[in-house]
Structure 1
Amino acid sequence: MVSSGQTYIITNKKAGTACDLSGQDQKSVIGFTAQRSDNQKWRAQDTGNGWTLQNIYNQKYLDVEGPLQNGTKVVAVDTNNPRTWDIRPDRNDNSAYRVFIHDSNLNVDLSDRGNPTPGTPVTIWGEWEGENQVWRFEQV
């Protein structure tokens, strides 16, 4: 269960890579080998109308860059009005979650069907049964 105010390492169920704020541009969100560094730590906050996810390293919030459609990249942005997400248990594995754009069927997806290669972009994509859209939240 995800708890408000707690910090998590978020790893992809299929690839095992962590949701990582890229050290190259401090904006791109990628799958990367789990190292438990601050750029892989995300604070979950329940807003009452969804969740925000804030990176511990630079305090930027999880968002998207571009239109709300398949393939749009997930990024971290500095904002006073962070995007809200719906964090829902996966239907096939109640120990893991899907992270949806609030009130939509678009969820966080590790690209290339869950490619485990470090640096694989994290995007949004319409929900399907792929485990590359399923994430584990490990409290740190």
Structure 2
Amino acid sequence: MLFTKLTSCLVSLFALTACTVAVVLPSRSELESRVYPRATEPIQSGLVFTIHNVKADTVVDLSAGDNKTITGWSLNGGKNQQWTTIWTGESWNFQSVETGLYLGFTGTAGNGTNLTVASTPTAWDIWHDTVNETNYRIFAPNTTVNWDLWGYGDAISGDPITLWGAWSGIHQTWRFVQGMHSIYLLML
């Protein structure tokens, strides 16, 4: 009797583990929308972009105050708002044009983890948004957490960019704009 209950508990535990893995791993339809450097894709390795939040239209900004903090900030044309995309063969890295540091995070990828920079690259997965294919979501690999502009996408300069579980909020979607620095200087 005890053996039967123990076996039943172990089967339940393995079933729970399998369910957890199924939630984390992407489905086939999601794999088809993952971004790889190919001719039909605007995001290519070695190009420089400003990365705009779709809701707030602020950009990913490396704080000039501490050269470490990542926030959403109004576009100003600074090199601290420009990121070189680097394809590693398996994932993407984002390197600051200003400092040469890489966009990443400290600790474990989870809800509320702040983006920061480091001297070593962090792997990222870029996926097309399922609602608007011209927008992107950027995930910590093999997780369901993606970039999220704090405050549901407030357009206030200085709002932190964190990791958060993916849901339908457009403040978790991003646009990549190439050559924005040159365009900004022409407007001055």
State the TM-score, normalizing by the size of structure 1.
0.96
Q: Measure, in 2, the Cα distance between the counterparts of 1:95 and 1:36.
A: 23
Matching of residue 44 in structure 1 with residue 85 in structure 2: yes
Counterpart among 90, 112, 115 of residue 154 in structure 2: 115
Task: Report % sequence identity.
Answer: 37
Compare the two structures and name the one with the higher helix fraction.
2
Q: Which residues of structure 2 form unaligned runs of 5+?
A: 1-41, 180-188
What SS class does the counterpart of residue 91 from structure 1 fall into?
A: coil
Compare the two structures and name the one with the higher strand fraction.
1
Matching of residue 55 in structure 1 with residue 57 in structure 2: no
Q: How does 1:13-24 map to 2 (within 5 A)?
A: 13-24=54-65
Larger-Rg structure = 2
Give the C-alpha shift of residue 65 in structure 1: 2.0
Q: How does 1:54-93 map to 2 (within 5 A)?
A: 54-79=95-120, 82-93=121-132
Q: Which residues of structure 1 form unaligned runs of 5+?
A: none
Report the equivalent of 1:32.
73
Give the C-alpha shift of residue 78 in structure 1: 1.4
Q: Measure, in 2, the Cα distance between the counterparts of 1:126 and 1:72.
A: 11
What SS class does the counterpart of residue 171 from structure 2 fall into?
A: helix
State the TM-score, normalizing by the size of structure 2.
0.72
What SS class does the counterpart of residue 113 from structure 1 fall into?
A: helix
Matching of residue 135 in structure 1 with residue 174 in structure 2: yes
Residue-pair matches, total: 138
Name the Cα RMSD after superposition.
Answer: 0.8
Q: Measure, in 2, the Cα distance between the counterparts of 1:98 and 1:91.
A: 9
Q: Measure, in 2, the Cα distance between the counterparts of 1:135 and 1:36.
A: 18
